[in-house]
Amino acid sequence: MVSIISSCIIIPSEPTPNGLMNLSELDQIPGMKHVPPLLFFFKSNPAGTFSDLTQKLKDSLSKILVPYYPLAGRLSRIDGRFELDCNGHGVEFVEAKSNETKVVDDYIDFEPTEVVKDFIPSIDYNKIPLEEWPLLLVQLTKFRCGGVCFGIAFSHTVCDGWAQLMFFNAWTKLVREEDNCQVHGETMQPLHDRTFLNSTCHSLPRFDHREFKAPPVLLNCSATTKTEQEQSISVSVLRVSKEQIENLQKEAETKSTYEAIAAHMWRCACKARQGHTNQPTTILSVVDIRRKLKPQIPLNYFGNAILHTLTPTCLFGEILTHPLSYTAQKVRESIQILTDEYIRSVIDFVKIQRQGMDSLRVGSPTGYYYGNPNLNIGCATSLPVYDVDFGWGKPVYVGLGTFINVDGRSFIMPGPAGDGSIVITLRLQTQHMEAFKKFFYGDIGQFCKSKL
């Protein structure tokens, strides 16, 4: 149980630019909700009372919102598109305390279930109008052991994971260095110019954008039936050591952690689901395109610079009879397709979807179902989330606060030890979960033995 001590709105400490900010085409795709929320657990906090700590965070948050002023605005919908009203209405900050006897260590490797949902502020999306949603939600929860949980959630329409971490780093630096850190300094300035990702509208899309089309469905199962969506879903957290990753990379013949892990998960899912050998299947994943455009997008760009991409369609039988390197190559192809020309074509494609934008958005009720026989994998292994330091040490664990309750959905994050390990949060139909875990770890063990 968590008790709310106080809740308030934090506004920028100085006047900021106001008016309508046009969002890019890539800002239209991720969905408007606050996903995925993250929880940072710290074992100790600086000297002083919890009230002093909270006030310090509020004051610094108010200051950092000056250069990051879009976060203090509100979304609006105009002709089916989202736009950002930079009105300075502020972000939500909640102060809370845990009433349980659990300590911070009890939440290491936690699963994103009802157990931790109270550590993040919630919004009733059905009752509160879009124009009133704060775009940033923050909650600081203290434990009886002296540790704290820092829960944070951004509206995904406004920024992606890299941009969120950039904001975090600027904020934590301000907290640590206090008066020695200037919010108007060059290192604090995000780039808000979203014209990098404007559509040229010089031509129609040049490619067949399969990532926006319906994925394969189960054979002998109508595409309109909701039978699969109504199956019981379970969530599990899978830990993979650096040595296990290296064994997978050797077997997959790749140096990419993502390619090796995604290929292995794909094979294990096919095994666990026990589908027909002729069952088509794909993986939908997300790729950062900052370095793929020409010219490259500056790293301080504050917005969405990610795209969904789809593997070639494979058959269960192909995946299970070919070596892991075959499946890894299919994953690699989904990433290699994202050239400058292809990305520009995506932007033009989204530009002309005025009437059908909702079906393109992740998590939309009218969007496509990427569960059985497919997978939907998110990956944040390149984000140094364990470098977040407010001045009382680095977090002992970082995990997802909530997670979309859809079969086949997974998210890969770096492990807490900083030793090259990873943590996978996975949702799968309950009837397939135990078999998946058996194959997941059992096959890694077999790969290891084969190298001896």
Q: Is the pLDDT assigned to residue 224 strictly greater than 60?
A: no
Q: How far apart are CA 331 and CA 329, in angstroms?
A: 5
Phi/psi zone of residue 99: left (φ > 0), alpha (ψ -120 to 50 degrees), beta? alpha
Task: Provide the b/e sequence for 177-201 (b: ≥16 CB within 10 Å).
Answer: eeeebebeeeebebebebebbebee
Q: Using pLDDT thresholds of 50, 70 and 90, give the confidence band for residue 179.
A: low
Output the pLDDT for position 435. 98
Q: Is the pLDDT assigned to residue 318 strictly greater than 60?
A: yes
Q: What CATH number is given for 210-381+404-450 in this structure?
A: 3.30.559.10
Average confidence (pLDDT) over 239-244: 95
CATH superfamily, domain 2-193, is Chloramphenicol acetyltransferase-like domain (3.30.559.10)
Domain range annotation of the chain: 2-193, 210-381+404-450
Output the pLDDT for position 114. 76
- Tokens 């200051």 locate to 63
Q: Using pLDDT thresholds of 50, 70 and 90, give the confidence band for residue 356.
A: low
Output the pLDDT for position 391. 86
Q: Is the pLDDT assigned to residue 354 strictly greater than 70?
A: no
Total-model pTM: 0.93
Q: Is the pLDDT assigned to residue 138 strictly greater than 80?
A: yes
Q: Is the pLDDT assigned to residue 180 strictly greater than 70?
A: no
Average confidence (pLDDT) over 396-409: 89
CB of 151 within 8 A of CB of 138? yes
Lay out the sheet containing 81-86: strands in order across.
19-21, 81-86, 74-78
Q: How far apart are CA 32 and CA 27, in angstroms?
A: 9
Phi/psi zone of residue 127: left (φ > 0), alpha (ψ -120 to 50 degrees), beta? alpha
How large a percentage of the chain has pLDDT more than 90? 65
Q: Is the pLDDT assigned to residue 374 strictly greater than 60?
A: yes
Output the pLDDT for position 60. 95
Question: What is the rounded average pLDDT for all residues in the chain?
Answer: 90
Range ranked top by mean pLDDT from 172-186, 377-391, 397-411, 431-445: 431-445
Output the pLDDT for position 449. 63
Q: Is the pLDDT assigned to residue 302 strictly greater than 90?
A: yes
Q: Is the pLDDT assigned to residue 198 strictly greater than 90?
A: no
Handedness of CA 151, 193, 304, 182 (dihedral sign): negative
Phi/psi zone of residue 347: left (φ > 0), alpha (ψ -120 to 50 degrees), beta? alpha
Q: How far apart are CA 179 and CA 306, in angstroms?
A: 35
Maximum separation of any 2 CA atoms in the chain, in Å: 66
- Of the listed ranges 72-86, 94-108, 356-370, the one predicted with least confidence: 356-370
CB of 375 within 8 A of CB of 381? no
Output the pLDDT for position 267. 98
Q: pLDDT digit string (tens) for 45-55?
A: 666 788 888 99
Just list the catalytic residues.
156, 389
Q: Is the pLDDT assigned to residue 108 strictly greater than 90?
A: no
Output the pLDDT for position 202. 62
Q: Is the pLDDT assigned to residue 84 strictly greater than 80?
A: yes
Q: Using pLDDT thresholds of 50, 70 and 90, give the confidence band for residue 186.
A: low
Q: pLDDT digit string (tens) for 405-445?
A: 889 999 999 998 788 999 999 999 999 999 999 999 999 98
Output the pLDDT for position 27. 94
Average confidence (pLDDT) over 26-30: 91
Pinpoint the alpha helices (H) of 5-49.
none
Q: Is the pLDDT assigned to residue 353 strictly greater than 90?
A: no
